[in-house]
Structure 1
Amino acid sequence: MATLYLSEQQSFVKKRDEYLLIRYQDKRTVEVPIHKVTQVVISGDVTVTTPALHLLLERGIEVCYLSMYGQFRGRLSPPVAKNAFLRRSQHRAHIDEQQALHIARACVKGKLENMRVMLMRANRSLQNSEIEDAAAAIRIMGQQATTATTIGSLLGIEGNGSRSYFGVFDKLLRGSLPFPGRRRRPPTDPVNAMLSLGYTLLHHQVSSAIQVVGLDPYVGFLHQPRHGRPALALDLMEEFRPIIVDSVVLNIVNHHILSERDFEEELGVVLLKSSARKIFYAKFEERLLEELHHPHFGYRTNYRRCIELQTRLLAKWLTNEIPNYPPLCIR
């Protein structure tokens, strides 16, 4: 089971029995069995017929629409889980200061710990004192997050941790692509372009898990809700950013999979070319399918499944089935 990425421009997708028939502009055709698809990501000018969309929705498969360059445009989702009691518990926890603080602390601590481990892993071979210092600083910030008493202070700790992490991120890169520091809106270099695209894809994965479990994606704990902001998705993304997206980017750069010629600039924004996006999607999917030992459940599973498991752990905490929400922290 995998995500189907449709990024070749002017492709046409229709239903054929229990298959999706994809016809490309050069007349090539590919049949994809519907039972092998968990999600669909459409990038740019791709036409999907109504019967094909109906088949996807009937099978509970979500469709994510991106622009040609990877910016999120919208989502077509099957009906949400009808668990009103779970959502009511979520809304109550959101307005309860101590409960909201519990989840917010876990989100920040998980992100900081995974950033620290990413740095320490890389530094086994690099032996760089700046990386070591950044990892030590992030460790202290993780301890501060555990005892933080306000959401505002947690956001400050998270911001400081991210600055320390990205302040040495360039030292983890062994390829030819430069990294001037984190630039979000807009990305102004290839590494930031890949990070931004990766976080968009991760957001879709987390949002899909929230949909499956039956939580409200717009009611968060660390990220406060505002109109159109999927606050819970942003919360649950935090612990996965370093270990999924950043890991993919490091793999691509350090193995020289993409180079400067795979990117283009448009109105000051650096973007991946079509061929490069296909490669990035493939590497992102590889990471999602990579297995690890889940520290809470004690068995091996892949990163995609971990996203859903963490969402279910949050639901269990909200309904008082477990005493704490444990973020996924790698070793």
Structure 2
Amino acid sequence: MKKSYYLFNPGRLSRRDNTLKFTPVDEEGNEGQARHIPVEGVNNLYVFGSLDTNSALYNFLGKNLVNVHFFDYYEHYTGSFMAKEYLLAGKMQIDQTNHYLNPEKRIVIARKLIEGAAFNMLKNLKYYDNRGKDIYPQIQLIEQYSQGIEAFKEVPELMGIEGNIRQVYYEAFDEIVTDFEMNGRSKQPPANEVNALISFGNMLCYTLCLDMIYHTQLNPTISFLHEPGTRRYSLALDLAEVFKPLLVDRTIFKVLNKKILKASDFEEKLNKILLKEKGRKAFLKAWDERLNETIKHRSLGRSVSYKHLVKLECYKLAKHIMGLEEYKPFKMWW
């Protein structure tokens, strides 16, 4: 089974036959013990330290359909190396573009994305409200906002209501999370530990959605809710909205409330709160565990991982674009 690998230390990545060889290198240029990873077991690489490699290695990764995602010192996502687009199809590209260019078709998909995101945020809040957390006022307000989604005719208006919903949703985090305070959403820079985890987790969710899109005929640069940009895969941003409550936020609640992460796992640098390496590894371990959790799928009649739910969402969106089946956004049913 293929899996993700996280490279935290600076080092050199090379090819040895059909194996990836990673050699850590310290600040003085001294090499550590090399690690060998069979390429057939690699789904993607997440690079958090400086990486020394060459074009031959990227050719090798491309042929084996291994994507590489890069993060800078401050845990910001900086870009990806995506292997050749082996599933892109002309008809899908035309239909997807037409759905973006046609305001009536685009707004239908955009509304569904916001509907799914709002439902899943409410699902989280109701879970904790049933366990004694005082967050019913936030639930009521989000339900009121959600009732008006169908009335909006323009995407910017929808983005506005999504922002209002998420702001109210984040207000409940101070009640849900123990020992830490969020005090509202802050991004650049994240002002505290909770905001740092949200930013880091959202980037992981974005790259996950990008990987899943890559395995379908969808074009990741043509989106419906977020405006396509010249240097971003905006469709991944669209899908991430639906899955952040399930994947990112539930992981944050777990690592903080179960004290998997403590205040000592964070540090402040240049007015930014960052995860230390130990804390980053602990969060990524919890993140991988979350992705590998399984649930009995009601339509398929079998258990699927949370990670696979994202790929199924891509297939549903593709069917809608091709006119085969109306898109219904993922909504937590458990």
With normalisation by structure 1, the TM-score equals: 0.92
Note the C-alpha offset of 1:147: 3.8
Partner of 2:78: 73
**1:283–1:29: structure 2 CA closer, same or farther, 3 Å change rule?**
same
Q: Unaligned 5+ residue runs, structure 1?
A: none
Partner of 2:16: 16
Counterpart of 1:96 (choices 96, 102, 105) is 102
Whether 1:60 and 2:65 are equivalent positions in the alignment is yes
Q: Give the counterpart letter for 1:276 in structure 2.
A: G
**Contact 1:62/1:75 (8 A) holds in 2:** yes
**Contact 1:15/1:49 (8 A) holds in 2:** no
Q: Distance in 2 between matches of 1:327 and 1:5?
A: 30
Counterpart of 2:170 (choices 166, 176, 179) is 166
Whether 1:314 and 2:320 are equivalent positions in the alignment is no
1:65-108 Cα offsets, whole Å, 9 max, x none, are 11123211211111112301101101101111121011101110
Whether 1:291 and 2:276 are equivalent positions in the alignment is no
Question: What is the alpha-carbon root mean square deviation over aligned residues?
Answer: 1.8
> Which structure ranks higher in relative contact order (CA pairs < 8 Å, sequence separation ≥ 6)?
1
**Contact 2:112/2:329 (8 A) holds in 1:** yes
Q: Give the counterpart letter for 1:110 in structure 2.
A: G
Partner of 2:245: 242
SS of 1:219's equivalent in the other structure is coil
Partner of 1:119: 125
1:290-312 Cα offsets, whole Å, 9 max, x none, are 11233554432112211111111
- Please list, as runs of the form range in 1=range in 2, the aligned pairs for 1:1-331 lying within 5 A after superposition: 1-8=2-9, 10-25=10-25, 27-80=32-85, 81-128=87-134, 131-174=135-178, 176-322=179-325, 324-331=326-333
Q: Percent identity?
A: 27
Of stretches 95-104 and 48-57 in structure 1, the one that deviates more from structure 2 is: 48-57
Q: Distance in 2 between matches of 1:82 and 1:94?
A: 17
Q: Unaligned 5+ residue runs, structure 2?
A: 26-30
Of stretches 280-289 and 143-152 in structure 1, the one that deviates more from structure 2 is: 143-152
Note the C-alpha offset of 1:183: 0.8
Note the C-alpha offset of 1:316: 1.0
SS of 2:215's equivalent in the other structure is helix
Note the C-alpha offset of 1:24: 2.9
